[in-house]
Amino acid sequence: MFFKSNTMNLNVINKVGYLTFKMLENYECINHAFSTRLGGVSSNEFESMNLCFYMGDLDSNVVKNYKIFCSAAGFDYNSLVASRQKHGTNIIKVGINDRGKGIYKEQYEESADGLITNEKGVTLVTYHADCTSIFFLDPVKKVIALAHAGWRGTAGKIVCNMIDKMIDIYGCKVKDIVCGIGPSIGKCCYEIDEKVYNQFIEIKEIDINKATTKCENNKYLLDLCEVNKQLLIKKGLEEHNIQVSDICTKCNNDLLFSHRATQKHGEMASMISLR
């Protein structure tokens, strides 16, 4: 396995691998991680650190994986809160009373592809296997958030919705917010059809030419990370406060799960908590 990144570090503890943003590592007020395939107990197409309950793996394996991963990456298993993702733009505010939902308690009835909190003792969790993971932090107000953004969530501007939530609920200032975007399937591998492409043309805040390349088969290559970065900058974030992953999940499917690489697979998890 070969790994190289200018923006993320691969940490391996007790054979458990996880990625962290170099920029976010500078903020002692948070712990954050993006899991890999390394170090779990699942087998076959779920080998080995599958952290998603609804992909076909044994629930007992997923629970063991969570406990192993949390121990290695420094999270409290009992603090986890997971969203019920539907490739939408809904965001839920969570707190101490929500701990365990989606993990060892029943899922939320309401679907959400974003979670937000300002409470310590709560670890936000989202699932990924090509879709972009976006970490948010306001180090001044001590607010954290996570978003799951595939092409639908990206086109629906979930990142803009998240910034609005941070401002409206917690009084955050845009200039204080920092973000880590990715990993996800890269522009090198993410081919979309004209129907999807046309939805991105309608997004006035972005330069479509920087985010897409036309292919010979009337399809396009899409850079999800670039679109989300442009949306955040248009929303007022400072570019130096945004770090974009340079890791493609499909190109690195020996390390990361990828839906485009293998139709049956496990999923990684993003996690963030306030210390």
pLDDT confidence of residue 239: 98
Each domain of the chain, given as residue ranges in start order, spans: 8-184+242-274
pLDDT at res. 208: 97
pLDDT exceeds 70 at position 1: no
pLDDT at 105 over 70: yes
Give the chain's radius of gyration (CA, Å).
Answer: 17
175 with 238: CB under 8 angstroms? yes
Q: Which residues pair with 20 in a beta bridge?
A: 9
Q: Dihedral sign, CA of 86, 92, 94, 98?
A: negative
What is the band of 109 on the pLDDT scale with cuts at 50, 70, 90?
confident
- pTM for this prediction: 0.98
Residue 102: half-sphere exposure toward Cβ, Cα within 13 Å: 26
pLDDT of residue 83: 87
* Pairing between β-strand 132-138 and β-strand 268-274 as defined by DSSP bridges: unpaired
pLDDT band at 108 (very low <50, low <70, confident <90, very high): confident
Which pLDDT score, from 0 to 100, does residue 3 have? 82
Whether residue 89 is predicted with pLDDT greater than 80 in this model: the reply is yes
pLDDT by residue (tens digit) across 216-273?
Answer: 889 999 999 999 999 999 999 999 999 999 999 999 999 999 999 998 999 999 999 9
The residue with tokens 């917690």 is 170
Bridge partners, 221 (sequence order): 191, 213
Q: What percent of the chain has pLDDT over 90?
A: 95
- Rounded distance, CA 60 to CA 21, Å? 30
How confident is the model at residue 215, as a pLDDT? Answer: 96
For residue range 15-69, what is the model confidence (pLDDT) as tens digits?
A: 999 999 999 999 999 999 999 999 999 999 999 999 999 999 999 999 999 999 9
Query: How many other β-carbons are positioned within 10 Å of the β-carbon of residue 96?
Result: 12
Cα separation, 201 vs 187, whole angstroms: 16
User: Which CATH number does 8-184+242-274 carry?
Assistant: 3.60.140.10
- Binning pLDDT at 50, 70 and 90, where does residue 107 land? confident
